[in-house]
A and B are shown apart, each in its own frame.
Chain A
Amino acid sequence: MNLSELCEVLSLDVVAGDTAGKTWHGVYAGDLLSRAMSHVKLDNLWITIMSNTNVIAVASLTEACAVILAEGVELLPEALDAAVDNGITVLSSTRTVNELCIAIHEASSGRK
């Protein structure tokens, strides 16, 4: 399942960047940036409730496929600018981190 399909199935809003032609592999969920820095892998989806500019820097350095902001968190204006400048895809959802993890697992394993 590519990123566009996942956005459609989970009704994710696109806050910044593109979803077309992007493929994701694996998920990391967490808010501590050093942990994320160490564990987010190439093309991962990174689910977090952090919304500052540093999230964009970590997503860029780890080459995450996209950042998914949970619980309806909105990206701060300077972070949005950074996401656009660096070509980082940021999505958002009103679901909790846990609900997102479960929904992504179910969607990608064809259970929903």
Chain B
Amino acid sequence: MAENIRFHFDVDGENFTSAGEASVAVKKKLRQLGFSPDVIRKVSIAMYEGEINMVIHADGGTADVEVTDDEIVIVLADHGPGIPNVEMAMQEGFSTARENIRALGFGAGMGLPNMKKYTDEMKIDTEVGVGTTITMKVYL
């Protein structure tokens, strides 16, 4: 690949009905680029979970995807409340989502665990009151 391919999305924090649009768009682009279903599934799941987290907890943010020769890098950045206890947040079933969010089918406490499970690398930079940036890599 001569030059890395980059996608940028603004994730709207107000709008639950459009949550997931960036993930669906990336999936379509990766399919057009000819990536394997396995790679597309990993990126789609990890990115969707991150996108939903930004809508639920952080009033939106940005999603950047870069495709290199060796990996697909997903960077999700927000200016939300930050994660006070990352270790606890990584546990399956732990959720701070409100009841109205749970009624939509979210808040299973599987978001961050799914992001880790479906990517080869995941790094969380978070500061309470400042925001969270999650960098995930899927190897090619």
- Chain A interface residues (CB < 8 Å from chain B): 31-38, 42, 48, 50, 52-55, 57-58, 60-63, 78-79, 82, 86
Contact = CB atoms under 8 A, between A and B. Distances in A.
Interface in B1-59: 16-21, 23-24, 27, 37, 41, 44-45, 48-49, 52
B104 A52 contact: yes
Contacts of A79: 17
Interface residues of B, number: 27
Nearest to A35: B108
B117 A86 contact: no
Contact of A38 (B20, B23, B107, B117): B117
Interface of B: 16-21, 23-24, 27, 37, 41, 44-45, 48-49, 52, 104-111, 114, 117-118
Contact of A37 (B19, B27, B37, B114): B114
10 contacts: A33-B106, A37-B48, A37-B49, A37-B114, A53-B18, A53-B20, A57-B24, A61-B48, A62-B44, A63-B37
B110 A35 contact: yes
Nearest to B55: A54
Contact of A52 (B17, B21, B44, B45): B17
B16 A54 contact: yes
B20 A54 contact: yes
A82 B18 CA distance: 9
Contacts of A82: 17
Contacts of A50: 104-105
B37 A42 contact: yes
